[in-house]
Amino acid sequence: MEKTARGQKDIVLGYVKSLGTQEHRSMMETAYVYGTKYQFILITGGPVLKHLGVNESSHSSQVWFLHCRSHRGFMTTMTSERCPLTRMRKQLSLLILHSFLQLMEAPLVSEVYDDPSVVPPPQFPYQQTPQVFLFSRPATEHLDLDTATTLAWRLRGIALLLLVHRQSPAVKTPDEYNAAYRLPEKSLEVKYMTLHNLDEVLELFMNEEKNGEEEEDGDEEEDEDSKFGKLDDEIAASVYENRGNLLDMDSITKLTSDNFHTAVAESSLTVVLFYLKWDAVSMTFLSSITEVAERLEDSEVYDVRMSAVDCGEWIDLCAAQLGSSLPVLFQPITAFPSVLVLRPHEMAQNYRGMLGSEALHRFILLSRPACPAPLSTEEEVMSFLQEAPHPELAGHKPDRVLGLFKTQSHAALPVFTAAAKSLRGELLSGLLTDGLAEKWAADHSVDLPTVLVFPSWRTHTPFSLPVSSAEELLAQINTALLHPVPELTVENLPSFLSLGKALLLLFVGEEEDEIGRRQNQALEWEMKRVVKLGEGRMERYLPCWIHLGRTPAGMSVLGSYLGSMPPLPALVLTHLPSGGEIYQYPPNTPIVAHSVLQWLQRIEDGTESPAGMLAEDTFPPAVKFYDFLNIMDMQEPGSAQQKAPKEEEEEEEEEEEEEEEEEEEEEEEEEEEEEEEEDEDREEEEGNIGDDGVVEKETAPAPESNTNPHSEL
C-alpha cells in the first residue's frame, strides 16, 4: 500500500479492537469525507501492529498518519521504502481525528521575523496546538533550519514549530535564550528557555501529555466507581468534573442591588451576565465571560465593563423590583443564563448570540461604534464600508447598513435609528444626510429616504429598502441579509431553524484539490439555480449546504438522518413543518436544478417515500428513578400518602377535639385529687385532738406505691 501511495496520497492507518465500535464508526465516517484526499486503511490486528510497536492485547484504538505524498516546503526526500509516520496520541473520536488530519496539513516549519511575544496564537483550525519557537542567526541559518526541521518532525502532531530570525530588528528576545514556547491554555503568554539538546523540548511536551492522560484516566475511574458520575448532558458533566477548579472572577465586576445603577452610569457600555450557581450552562458561560474580559483588557479596550449578577442571591435585582425611585432598565430575568448590554440612559439590549467567548467578544466589539455612526465625508463612508472597526475583527467581514436622509430632522430618521439599535452588535450602521445623502442616492438610482443594505456575502450593488415602520424595516433588513443559499454552521443553525422553513440541505465533503473546489462551487451554483427557477415555489424551503470539512459535526447529523453515511454529495429535505419526514435525493444521480425541482414536486404530490424520520426530542434520565416516597411509606406507613384538603381539615379537627378531651379529663382528675386531700386533712386534725383539747402532732406516713400519677400535676 505504501509503494502504491508513494508520491500520490498520504495514508491514514487505523487500528480498532473490533468492528462495530464507536471508534470503528469514527474511522468510517471520516473516510467518507476524506476518502478522495487520503488512502484509509483499517486493521483489527496482525503483524502490522508488531512493526508499529503496539501490543495486540491493548484495548485502545490508535491512528497513524503515513506521509507518503510529496510535500512542499521542508519535506525531505524519502529514500527509505517506508513512509514517515506520525501517531495520533489522543483517544480516537470523530472530532479528534478530524483535528489531527487538519494538523497534518499544517506547515512543518514556519519562518517569522517578529518577536515571539507579538506572534499571534495559532488560528483555526490549529488554535488548541502549542507553539515552539527556535531562534536562528545569519551565520548558522542553514544549520538552524535543519535543526528546526528535525525537531518539527519529532513534534509532528504535538506542536507547531516556528523559526525566528534574530537579524530582524523586531526580535527583542535576549541572546541568552535560544527557544521559547506557548501553550494554548495561556493565550498570549510565552515562556523562554535555553536548550542544550532537542530532547529537552520533547521531554517537556511528553510529560505534559502523560500528565493529561493520567488525569483523564483518573477522571474515568472516578466516574466508573461513583454512582453519581452519570449526568444528563455534557455541560453538566463538564461542570461536575471541574467543580474543584475555582473560577478567577477578578476581571469582572460583581453587581448587586446597591451598585447596579452606579456601575451602569459610570461606563459607556456594560455587559451583564445574569446567572444561577446551580445551573450548569450558567457556570460554563461565566467562564466565557471572564475570558472575554481578559481579552478586552489585553487589547486595551477600557470602555467596556464586564459584570455578572448572581440571581440566587440578588433576587430583587434579577426580578427588576428594586423598590426605589431609580428607573427599571430591563424586564425581569426569567431564563438563565441571560446577557444584557446596557448604556447610560438607554433601555437594555438582549444578547441573542452563541453562548461562547468568540461570538460574545465579536458582538461586543461591533457594539462599541456609534449607532448609527454619522458620516459626513466620502472618505468616512469608504472607511465605514471597507475597514474593520477593531484590529481583532480584521478577519471578520460584518454586514453593514446605510441610512440616507435629506436632513437630520427628517420624520423617518427615528424609525431607522430604532431598527439600527435593535441590530447593534450584529452589524454596523451609518447615517448620511444633506448633500452626501443626495449624491449616494443618485449614484444608486434611489429616492430619499432609503436604507442601503450591504450583506457580507454580496460584492456588487447593495439592496435598497424603503423606510416605513421600525418593525417592517427590521424584517426587511434581516431578509436582505439572508444568503440565497447559506452555508450552515453550528453557530448560525439556530437562527435558520427559527425561520420555520423546511431545509433543502446539501452535504459536501472536503476538497482534495482545485478540481474538488470547482465541483463544490458547481453544486452551490445549481442550488442557486433551484431558487431562481423555482421562484415562488421555493418560499417554503431554505436551500442551504454544509461543508463537512469545516463543520465535521455535520457527519453525525447526516448519519442520524439516514441511518448510515451515503456517498457524497448528498441532498436531503428535512425539518418539514408538516412532520418529521426526511427525504433523500436519489443517490448517484447528478444534482441539477431541473431534477431537484422535479424531486420536490414528487414530494409535494406524495409520490416520494421518505428515507427516514427525525428523532423525537426525548431525553430520558441517565439513572434509575429513586422513589423516595415509597421508601418513606416503608419506614412509616401512610406518611407519604397524598391527602385531599378536606381530609386534612377533618383530621386536624379530630386531633384538636382529642386534645381538648384529654385536657378536660386531666382537669377533672386534678379537682378530685384536691378534694380527697382536703377531706383527709380534716379527718387527721379531728383524730389528733386529745382529751385535754391539745392537738397532737404526728409524722406523716410514707406515700403509698399506688399513688395516682396525675397527682403531681
For 232-274, what is each residue's pLDDT tens digit?
566 666 666 666 666 778 889 999 988 998 999 999 999 999 9
Q: Which of 335, 366, 397 is the last residue of a domain?
A: 366
User: Would you call 85 exposed, middle or buried from its count of C-beta atoms within 10 A (0-12, 13-18, 19+)?
Assistant: middle
568 in Cβ contact with 509 (< 8 Å): yes
Q: Which of 150-164, 441-455, 639-653 has the lowest mean pLDDT?
A: 639-653
Q: Tell whether 455 is covered by a domain.
A: no
Distance CA 269, CA 369 (A): 11
Averaged pLDDT for residues 544-551 = 89
b/e per residue, 289-305, with b = 16+ CB within 10 A?
bbbbbbbbeeeebeebb
412 in Cβ contact with 384 (< 8 Å): no
b/e per residue, 104-135, with b = 16+ CB within 10 A?
bebebbbebeebbeebebbeebbeebbbbbbb
Residues 508 and 550 in one domain: yes
With H, G, I as helix, E, B as strand and everything else as coil, classify residue 3.
helix
Q: Return the DSSP state at 408.
A: T
pLDDT tens profile 362-414: 999 999 998 899 998 989 998 888 888 888 787 788 899 999 998 888 888 99
Residues 91 and 47 in one domain: yes
Look at residue 289 in the predicted model and tell me its pLDDT. 93
Q: Assess whether pLDDT exceeds 90 at residue 341.
A: yes
Q: Which of 146, 179, 207 is the last residue of a domain?
A: 207
Q: Tell whether 618 is covered by a domain.
A: no
Residues 502 and 519 in one domain: yes
The range of the structural domain enclosing residue 287 comes to: 248-366
Bridge partners of 465, per DSSP, are 451
Distance CA 437, CA 261 (A): 39
Look at residue 229 in the predicted model and tell me its pLDDT. 47
Q: Which of 522, 521, 533, 547 is nearest to 593 (CA)?
A: 533
Q: Tell whether 467 is covered by a domain.
A: no
267 φ, ψ (degrees, to nearest 5): -120, 145
Q: Tell whether 691 is covered by a domain.
A: no
Look at residue 560 in the predicted model and tell me its pLDDT. 84
Residues 522 and 558 in one domain: yes
Residues 49 and 146 in one domain: no
The CATH number given to whatever domain includes residue 503 is 3.40.30.10
Q: Which of 104, 123, 143 is the last residue of a domain?
A: 104
Query: Where residue 615 falls among pLDDT bands split at 50, 70, 90?
Result: confident
Residues 97 and 113 in one domain: no
User: How many Cβ atoms sit within 10 Å of the Cβ of residue 326?
Assistant: 11
Distance CA 138, CA 215 (A): 43
Residues 127 and 196 in one domain: yes
Look at residue 585 in the predicted model and tell me its pLDDT. 94
Residues 128 and 61 in one domain: no
Task: Tell me the longest C-alpha to C-alpha distance in the chain.
Answer: 146
Residues 28 and 50 in one domain: yes
- For 218-265, the DSSP string reads HHHHHHHH-TT---SSHHHHHHHHTTTS----TTSEE--TTTHHHHHH
Q: At what angle do helices 94-104 and 22-34 cross, to 10 degrees?
A: 40
Q: Percentage of the chain surpassing pLDDT 90?
A: 21
Q: Tell whether 450 is covered by a domain.
A: no
Residues 95 and 113 in one domain: no
Q: Tell whether 544 is covered by a domain.
A: yes
Show the cell assigned to 69. Answer: 505524498
Query: Where residue 60 falls among pLDDT bands split at 50, 70, 90?
Result: confident
Residues 558 and 631 in one domain: no
pLDDT tens profile 458-511: 767 888 888 888 888 998 998 888 888 899 988 888 888 888 899 999 998 877
Look at residue 614 in the predicted model and tell me its pLDDT. 82
- For 673-697, the DSSP string reads HHHHHHHHHHHHHHHTB-TTSPBPP
Look at residue 702 in the predicted model and tell me its pLDDT. 44
Per-residue three-class SS string for 172-214? CCCCCCCEEEECHHHCCCCEEECCCCCHHHHHHHHHHHHHHHH
Q: Assess whether pLDDT exceeds 90 at residue 278.
A: no
Q: How many domains does the chain have?
A: 5
Q: Tell whether 138 is covered by a domain.
A: yes
Residues 188 and 274 in one domain: no
Distance CA 11, CA 27 (A): 13
Q: Tell whether 409 is covered by a domain.
A: no
Q: Which residue has the cell 527557544?
A: 179
This prediction has a pTM of 0.58
